[in-house]
Amino acid sequence: MTDSLTVRDNRTGQEYDVPIVDGAIKAADLGKIRTADDEPGLAVYDPGFVNTASCRSAVTFIDGDKGILEYRGYPIEQLAEKSTFLEVAYLLVHGELPTKAEYEAWVHEITFHTFVHENVKSFMEGFRYDAHPMGMLMASVGALSTFYPDAVHISDAENRHMQIVRMIAKMPTLGAWSFRHAQGKPFVYPDNELGYTANFLSMLFKMSEQNYVADPRIVKALDTLFILHADHEQNCSANAVRSVGSSQVDPYSSVAAGIGALYGPLHGGANEAVLRMLRRIGTKDKIPAFIEGVKAGEERLMGFGHRVYKNYDPRAKIIKKACDDVFEVTGVNPLLEIAQELERIALEDEYFVKRKLYPNVDFYSGLIYEALQFPPEMFTVLFAIGRTPGWLAQWNELVQDKEQKIARPKQIYTGERGLTFTPASERWA
Ligand SMILES: CC(C)(COP(=O)(O)OP(=O)(O)OC[C@H]1O[C@@H](n2cnc3c(N)ncnc32)[C@H](O)[C@@H]1OP(=O)(O)O)[C@@H](O)C(=O)NCCC(=O)NCCS
């Protein structure tokens, strides 16, 4: 067996051997296929990058058919159960698990960079009273580049480390303040005595008490949700971070682009749609009629199906378990019963079985967030905080990858050519 592809161009009758490496061919090799020396080479048309690898990456592995997700080779199930978000962040960014000393230094660094410049606070106060927290987060992260102009030195590894620490540390502060702003509540400063996730909860919910003490079960559940969202290989926002980062801009600007991508309903917003759907169904007896509507193509069962997973999304299984822990503290979200019954019926139904439609990460996460008193606008902010180490790991890999170039896709031009311009004064005369 030869690891190559033989292509015969029927326009010219010429044959080409294209090497196959790691299950892929290089698009540039296809570019050598042309009808004449002065004609453009063969291009690949792939809107949405459905079958185009944009990079080599050692960060995250997904096997969608088998329902496998691994960060740096470690299965998500083990990390969610036995690790912490900051340890997972270290793993994603550095590529391996920390020693005790490395972990303690990492936690210390992150903890002591949670504060932001007072001017950041002032400009966040300047947003409209009803500003969407995700818009505030995106703008604030982008603005951090003006506070750390040294971040442009992206080829300096120490400098990159500094910005990575800053961003992971400050994201909960900016996220919590975006939340408090809409409520007209004063911003709460970070409490460096608390762990990462407990501190985030304190900045979200503290009022006049001296210290805000979150229930440890809630802290653990939210920490687990951050782990589950920490990376997902070349998704829309990771691609945005890489694409913008390929211009060699500073990482704050790149991550702000990732937040913009995540803001969109096709990426970060499905869990909110699940809640709306469950509320609309209302009672268990209405489920069969709802399922019939879905099968008839009238609407989609939100939180089901995935572009990559054609099996149970491994993250959905873990979230289901986190639901139990959270509801033990907050009381059961009444929508849970409807969700569970909906899942049971759908998983037995031929329509969903045949199309390999299983619950995805969003099917249960909204129920938890709602039980924790988050308004739907905050759901994507939580996602962004969890995803930050993943974005930074992808960015850090990109800037060190010698094969990478500025992202600049080809197009297939469909417009006019060679028209003659008539000045407005003549056209409108
Ligand atoms: C995630 C999603 C966009 C993936 O889409 P995709 O990979 O492009 O899959 P397709 O849209 O090609 O769907 C394949 C088939 O399954 C059906 N299907 C996919 N998701 C469905 C859903 N949630 N409910 C009902 N039918 C669904 C499609 O109608 C199609 O059926 P057909 O072959 O009879 O036309 C899609 O599953 C979806 O819209 N899910 C609901 C939204 C959601 O939960 N998003 C969060 C993703 S993390």
Task: Give me the pLDDT at residue 359, please.
Answer: 92
What pLDDT is stored for residue 300 in this prediction? 92
Spatial distance between the Cα atoms of 70 and 386, rounded to a whole number of angstroms: 16
Confidence of residue 265 (pLDDT cuts 50, 70, 90): confident
- State the catalytic residue, choosing from 29, 231, 313, 362: 362
Residue 338 has pLDDT above 80, yes or no: yes
For residue 273, the model assigns a pLDDT of 87
Task: Render pLDDT for 169-183 as a digit per residue (tens, 0 to 9).
Answer: 999 999 999 999 999
DSSP string, 287-324: HHHHHHHHHTTSS--TTB--SS-SS--HHHHHHHHHHH
Question: What pLDDT score does 334 carry?
Answer: 87
Distance 369 CA to ligand 1 centre (A): 24
To the query of whether residue 9 is one of the catalytic residues in this protein, the response is no
Kindly list the protein residues whose Cβ atom lies closer than 6 A to any atom of ligand 1: 270, 294, 300-307, 355, 357, 360-362
Residue 271's pLDDT is what? 86
Q: What is d(CA 404, CA 410) in angstroms, rounded to the nearest whole number?
A: 16
Would you call 362 a catalytic residue per the annotation?
Answer: yes
Banded pLDDT at 2 (limits 50, 70, 90) = confident
pTM, entire model: 0.93
Instruction: Find the helix or strand (DSSP H, E) in which 155 lies.
Output: none
Q: Specify the pLDDT at position 320.
A: 87
Distance from chain centroid for Cα 270: 12
Q: With H, G, I as helix, E, B as strand and everything else as coil, classify residue 17.
A: strand
* Atom 34 of ligand 1, nearest CA residue: 355
Q: Of all atoms in ligand 1, which is nearest to the CA of residue 305?
A: 37
CA 350 to ligand 1 center in whole angstroms: 15
Q: What is the distance in A from the centroid of ligand 1 to the CA of 254?
A: 30
Region 295-320 average pLDDT: 92
Atom 38 of ligand 1, nearest CA residue: 305
- pLDDT band of residue 324 (cuts 50, 70, 90) is confident
Testing ligand 1's pocket by substitution, the residue of 272, 274, 357 carrying the most ligand atoms inside 8 A of its CB is 357
- Residue 281 CA to ligand 1 center (angstroms) comes to 19
